[in-house]
Amino acid sequence: MNRRFRHALLCLLVFAPGLCDAAVRHDPAERLQQQLRIEQQRYGIVGQSVEISHDGKPLFQGVDGASDLDSGQRVAADDIFPVYSLAKLFVSTLLMQLVEQGKIDLDRPASAYLRDPPESWKAISVRQFLNHSSGVAEYYTPEQMAGTAEANASFPASLPAALAVAAARPMQFAPGSRTRYTQTNYLVLTQLLETHYGQPYPRIARERILVPLGLQRTWLGRDGLPARGVVSAYRGQDGKAQPMPDVIWPAYAVGHSALYMSRGDLSAFLRAVAAGELVSKATLMQLWQPLTLPGGQRGEFLGGWESGDSGSYRNVGHDGGTVVRARILFNDSLDRDIYTVVYLTNGSARNVWSRTLVDDLMGVLAPQRFPTQALADRVAAFALRASDDARMQAFADSLRADRSVEKQQLERTINNTGYALRESHGADVALRAFLLNTRLFPKSANAWDSLAETYEAKGDLADAKAARRKQQALSTPSR
């Protein structure tokens, strides 16, 4: 075993990247490949494939793990992954093209562009469908997602039938007042595109996205998928990776799901979007402006793309289930300093959210540019190891001395990391993060509230009661 591999293995086993030798620390590709192994150990990821580009040039391409557990086949760079709801990015891009051409007004009712829309939806705007703020109900039930032959056969027979099913159900809220992610929104947009072009949606996507970009390892739906080179999908159950239920989406659903892509194709698509090749940069910047809903809630989607912040960068993108993510990161414009990130997995034992994986990688790649993400990775590494009081105090002291993140953001990041760990690893691991936060911020009612809540979740009522008393005392205004 050579020296570099021995040190990388040590870092992997103890979740402590800081122990790696200088060659690993200063080689971004080594650091990122090592991080893939760390993520596999933390979350039981079956297989993963990653590409990060900066200003259109690949910085890192890496794979790790198995494409199939039964055969033991390893993930290859050109393997095809189910990318699920990333299908919506094709639909949103096609809609943005029509907006740019002046053929669609996002603030007009979608009914102006459709034939025979449901009567109760006639006032809902295109933008509200695009940004999941329409309030319309889902067209299927959780029982239809079981993946059995009976469940698969129970989907509505056609797109109009699916819309009729959704329209017959009560609205979830008044259009434009909130955000609620619903597949039905993208059935409406798929129908809008088909009405405008007079063609089936798969042909529209091929002619306007796949062919211009030369995407040859992309499939809308299962038809034509090769027999080899497609990864098997898994989900976490009882702490183990189990085969994912085989949901057979109907043909009309390919505008919101059932998309299969290689890492290279998805990266090429993201880079083309960021470069303004499909929609101009000016139009993208206009459609990606932050949006505030009437109740003061921040709009979670902009032009159909999930939006958020990563340090000083803004990000837009989408996830596919919990397991894959595409993200574009930029500052004030799309002219320079643009990152595109593709993180594909085929599932994990811990059902880790893909946003956690992307954030961890960006924190490892550029901790000075993404200090919050680097901090979250450090906190997770700390919490995932058994801890005593001395070790917790030493880690707390190191965070106090670290000026890369201001105090309010430090507390918020530790708290968010605690909840993410509680979801993936349970209350015992999460407690270490919440206890750390109360040590760093003993006068924060929110820190004590999170700790009390987690004690309650694990049935530790005495400690929960003590933490709740602290929280209530800090929440009571002094007289």
- Per-residue confidence (pLDDT) for residue 149, from 0 to 100: 87
pLDDT tens digits, one per residue of 447-466: 999 999 999 999 999 999 99
Give the phi and the psi of residue 464 in degrees, each rounded to 5: -60, -40
Do 226 and 278 lie in a common domain? yes
Structure-token match 């290689």, residue found: 262
| Residue 58 CB partners (closer than 8 Å, separation 6+) | 51, 52, 267
pLDDT band at 11 (very low <50, low <70, confident <90, very high): very low
Question: For residue 327, what are the β-bridge partners?
Answer: 317, 341
Asked if pLDDT for residue 16 goes beyond 70, the answer is no
Do 19 and 99 lie in a common domain? no
Domain of 431: which CATH number? 1.25.40.10
Tokens of 240: 């183990």
Do 179 and 251 lie in a common domain? yes
Asked if pLDDT for residue 478 goes beyond 80, the answer is no
- Is residue 227, in this structure, part of any structural domain at all? yes
Percent of the chain scoring above 70 in pLDDT: 94
Whole-angstrom distance, CA of residue 358 vs CA of residue 379: 16
Measured in residues, the chain has a length of 479
Do 296 and 409 lie in a common domain? no
- Per-residue confidence (pLDDT) for residue 476, from 0 to 100: 82
Do 12 and 126 lie in a common domain? no
Higher pLDDT, 2 or 114: 114
- Per-residue confidence (pLDDT) for residue 25, from 0 to 100: 57
Segments in 57-136 forming alpha helices (H): 87-100, 126-130
Do 321 and 418 lie in a common domain? no
- Per-residue confidence (pLDDT) for residue 347, from 0 to 100: 98
pLDDT tens digits, one per residue of 34-60: 999 999 999 999 999 999 999 999 999
Do 409 and 308 lie in a common domain? no
- Is residue 71, in this structure, part of any structural domain at all? no
- Per-residue confidence (pLDDT) for residue 435, from 0 to 100: 97
- Per-residue confidence (pLDDT) for residue 15, from 0 to 100: 40
- Is residue 56, in this structure, part of any structural domain at all? no
Q: What is the DSSP string of 12-51?
A: HHHT-GGGS-HHHHH-HHHHHHHHHHHHHHHH-BSEEEEE
Domain of 263: which CATH number? 3.40.710.10
- Is residue 59, in this structure, part of any structural domain at all? no
Asked if pLDDT for residue 136 goes beyond 60, the answer is yes
pLDDT tens digits, one per residue of 375-386: 999 999 999 998
pLDDT band at 12 (very low <50, low <70, confident <90, very high): very low
Give the phi and the psi of residue 6 in degrees, each rounded to 5: -60, -40
Do 351 and 384 lie in a common domain? no
Structural domains in the chain (count)? 3
Residue among 34, 32, 26, 27 nearest 6 (CA): 34
pLDDT band at 62 (very low <50, low <70, confident <90, very high): very high
- Per-residue confidence (pLDDT) for residue 120, from 0 to 100: 92
Do 136 and 203 lie in a common domain? yes
pLDDT band at 4 (very low <50, low <70, confident <90, very high): very low
- Is residue 66, in this structure, part of any structural domain at all? no
- Per-residue confidence (pLDDT) for residue 479, from 0 to 100: 53
Do 374 and 349 lie in a common domain? no
Torsion angle defined by CA atoms of residues 201, 202, 204 and 208, in that order, rounded to the nearest 10 degrees? 140
- Is residue 211, in this structure, part of any structural domain at all? yes
- Is residue 55, in this structure, part of any structural domain at all? no
Domain boundary among 328, 360, 392: 360
Q: What is the pTM of this model?
A: 0.92
Q: What is the mean pLDDT of residues 179-196?
A: 97
Domain ranges, residue 163: 82-360
Do 271 and 383 lie in a common domain? no
Asked if pLDDT for residue 2 goes beyond 50, the answer is no
Do 227 and 356 lie in a common domain? yes
Q: What is the mean pLDDT of residues 336-353?
A: 98
pLDDT tens digits, one per residue of 256-273: 999 999 999 999 999 999
Rounded (10°) angle between helices 183-197 and 87-100: 50
pLDDT band at 295 (very low <50, low <70, confident <90, very high): confident
- Is residue 445, in this structure, part of any structural domain at all? yes
Asked if pLDDT for residue 319 goes beyond 80, the answer is yes
